[in-house]
Amino acid sequence: MRGSVTDPTSRHGRRRTRRTAGALASAALLLPLLGAAPPPSGSAGGSSASPAPPASSTRELQRAFASAAARYHVPQSVLLAVSYLQSRWDTHAGAPSVTGGYGPMHLTDARAALAATEHLAEGTEDARGDGARGARHPEPRLPKQSALPARLRTLPEAAALTGIPAAELRTDPAANVAGGAALLAAAQKNLGEPLSADPADWYGAVARFSGADDTATAAAYANDVYDVLRTGERRLTDEGQLVVLAAQPLLRADTGQLARAGLRTLSDDGTECPKTVSCEWVPAPYAQFGDNDYGNHDLGDRPASQSIRYIVIHDTEGTWDGVLNLVQDPTYVSWNYTIRSTDGLIAQHVKAKDVAWHAGNWYINAKSVGIEHEGFLAAPDAWYTEAMYRSSARLVKYLADKYGVPLDRQHILGHDNVPGPATASIPGMHTDPGPYWDWRHYFELLDHPFKHRAGKQGGMVTILPGYASNQPVYTGCTTKGEPCAAHGSSEVRLYSDHDRNAPLIRDIGLGTDPTNGVNDLSSRASTGQQYAVADQWGDWTAVWYLGQKAWFENPKKDPTAVNSAGLVVTPKDGATSVPVYGRAYPEKEAYPAGVPAQSVVPLSYTLPAGQRYVVGDVLPGEYFYSVTFATDTHRVVVGKDLYYEIQYGHRVAFVRAADVTVRPSAG
């Protein structure tokens, strides 16, 4: 979805949706960035590391863990592992997460960051992405207030236990760690367990610390913490502090404590999730209303009738309760899964065999699974928890293995990588999860880290900046045109020449001049994306991008890309350019009687002679005909014409195999 141009509570930040004239049932509580400390400064334009802290301060946080552990009689290793799963030991300059969590222990104080408007339901795009049925546009309704669950108010509880003021717990990392230790100790006592020095004896308290009210979610969280304990971690935090947790590979937790934790049993009701995560069934309705109008997905028979080739990563632009209300509204749109930020709980809404309406491109919808993550694109410090990243990665690995989806950036797409199905739809396509989603870390959790794949003559690069130190300036997070808070980013900026003062790359499909706006994708390449090398000049590298030579800074001492090799396409000899498509639909002759042939109309882009673009996949033209509630007329049309999926700009695109030549990138 498109991030806010004002703030996460503003109704300017919008998710473009399929809507009807009916009212929208929504009861979300949004969490704005209130009470945040001033962000660290960053340089304009390119990548820059945050200033190094004085040597004397580089271990202050480590000492804070030791002090809090001793004071509250919690094993230091347990305290460190819990904090790692909450925040990876980052402080985020005192800014709250998407669910109002503060500091390295992610102590939640949602009431200190509460807003009263739900902006997920605004916009005009048809998320179904198929012109065969018109877009619907329900009127948004102000959400209802609801009582905050215990998982969203752990910071006030920590304040009561420690006597430390809530404001200090929000902004002082050492105080925050002490608050987390007090909560763990209280959970241990409430379970009737001793304040043991053995980490194995704290499994139940760790599970309760998650804030989950069900056994499955609490166990998945605790299992992650104990995985961290066994493997150990060593990391420089966002404040440049070194924190170390020694590995305990032989540690075995007393998991039997969970049976005494008093948690409910979660009903999975046949959900499609790995056993290593917690998953509940919150179904999206397949319901008919009006004159052959229905929602909010289509019944299918995947993978028997058509393959699943993509997994699309979204952010919700709203919070858990409101999002779950929306997906259960038949007049709204749908997606397959939502993942909660505080503890990684997964809700499944649409079975993988069926087609959810989430990507704004019917071809991609018909061949993908969509996963929403509780968060805000334009709020760089409304950060995601490690618990959510890990839960998401486990789900994606499970789905990729089950359906044969390659674990690369040509198949694990951000919503911002989905192409517009037609030229008119390009300006309205979504921009989430945005530049602050940590693709590098995510693919490490997927066990497919991005690496050097070739020498200097490989002919391709994989975009791979250091996330924390890569801080290009974006604007429009809180006020249009004003700089966003300096923050790590997965993306590098692209220029028309090897000079920061050169014009940015222009996207003709958008029809506007390029900007540094947080939602402007015209001149950005993202971590893991691969492009053919077009030129080199000192510390600058040029790639082929949107039909142009696009330059980005790639210094040898601090590279933002690594050398790669693979297959590329280029126009066949004699062609000055070839068309680029937003969907891979079959040729007219492939359609049977009773199924209207879909126009194969190119986008406003072309692939000019002499340019090369990286191949992500080869596949036949395919169209899922599904325009009625009754499924007896549904058909999957497969053509003979082949297409290549390519990395064309920030988004993927398609070219007809008959128009191009495939060759090694090094050739």
What is the rounded distance in angstroms from the CA atom of residue 430 to the CA atom of residue 390? 24
Query: How far is residue 4's CA from residue 476's CA, in Å, rounded to a whole number?
Result: 8
Answer whether 490's CB lies under 8 Å from 437's CB.
yes
Domain boundaries along the sequence of the chain: 55-260, 453-565, 571-664
Q: Looking at residue 71, what is its pLDDT? A: 98
3-state secondary structure 466-517: CCCCCCCCCECCCCCCCECCCCCCCEEECECCCCCCCCECCCCCCCCCCCCE
Read off the pTM. 0.86
Closest by Cα among 237, 196, 198 to 62 = 237
Pairing of strands 412-414, 310-315: parallel
Using the Cα atoms of residue 546, residue 547, residue 552 and residue 554 in order, give the sign of their dihedral: positive
Query: Which one, of 37, 48, 93, 97, lies nearest residue 473 by Cα?
Result: 48
Measured between alpha carbons, how far is 395 from 371 in angstroms, rounded to an integer? 9
Residue 253 one-letter amino acid: A
The amino acid at residue 6 is T
How many CB atoms sit inside 10 A of residue 56's CB? 7
Q: Is the separation of the CB atoms in 112 and 101 below 8 Å?
A: no
Burial track 420-457 (b if 16+ CB lie within 10 A, e otherwise)? bbbbebbeebbbbbbbbbbbbbbbebbebebeeebeee
DSSP 456: T
**What's the full length of the chain, in residues?**
667
Query: Are residues 42 and 230 in contact, defined by beta-carbon separation less than 8 angstroms?
Result: no
Cα distance between residue 181 and residue 209, in whole Å? 10
pLDDT at residue 134, rounded to an integer = 59
CB 292 within 8 A of CB 298: no
Q: Nearest 10 degrees: CA dihedral of 399, 405, 411, 413?
A: 0
Distance, CA of 81 to CA of 226 (rounded, Å): 7
pLDDT along the chain (667 residues), means of 10: 36 32 30 28 34 58 98 98 95 83 91 44 57 53 50 93 96 97 97 97 96 91 96 94 97 93 82 93 92 90 97 89 89 94 93 97 98 82 83 97 98 98 96 94 97 88 95 91 90 98 98 95 98 97 98 96 97 98 98 95 97 98 95 96 98 98 93
- The token duo for 491 is 């993306």
Closest CA to 615 of 578, 646, 659: 646
Report the pLDDT value the prediction gives residue 667, as an integer from 0 to 100: 73
Contact of 173 with 226, CB cutoff 8 Å: no
| CA 452/CA 468 separation, integer angstroms | 20
* Phi, psi (deg, nearest 5) at residue 100: 75, 30
Q: How far apart are CA 68 and CA 91, in angstroms?
A: 17
Under 8 Å between Cβ of 179 and 158: yes
Separation between Cα atoms, residue 39 and residue 34, nearest integer Å:
13
Q: How far apart are CA 639 and CA 587, in angstroms?
A: 6
Q: 55-260 belongs to which CATH class?
A: mainly alpha
**102 closest CA partner among 158, 63, 50:** 158
d(C-alpha 650, C-alpha 415), whole Å: 11
Q: How far is CA 245 from CA 78, 231, 249, 292, 585, in A?
A: 9, 9, 12, 59, 52
| Helix (H) or strand (E) segment spanning residue 347 | strand 346-348
Q: Is 551 exposed, middle or buried (0-12, 13-18, 19+ CB in 10 A)?
A: buried
Cis-peptide, bond into residue 325, ω within 30° of zero? no
| 606-608 vs 577-579, strand pairing mode | antiparallel
Q: What angle do the packed helices 60-72 and 173-190 form, to 10 degrees? A: 30
Q: At 546, give phi and psi (nearest 5°).
A: 55, 35
pLDDT value, residue 310: 98
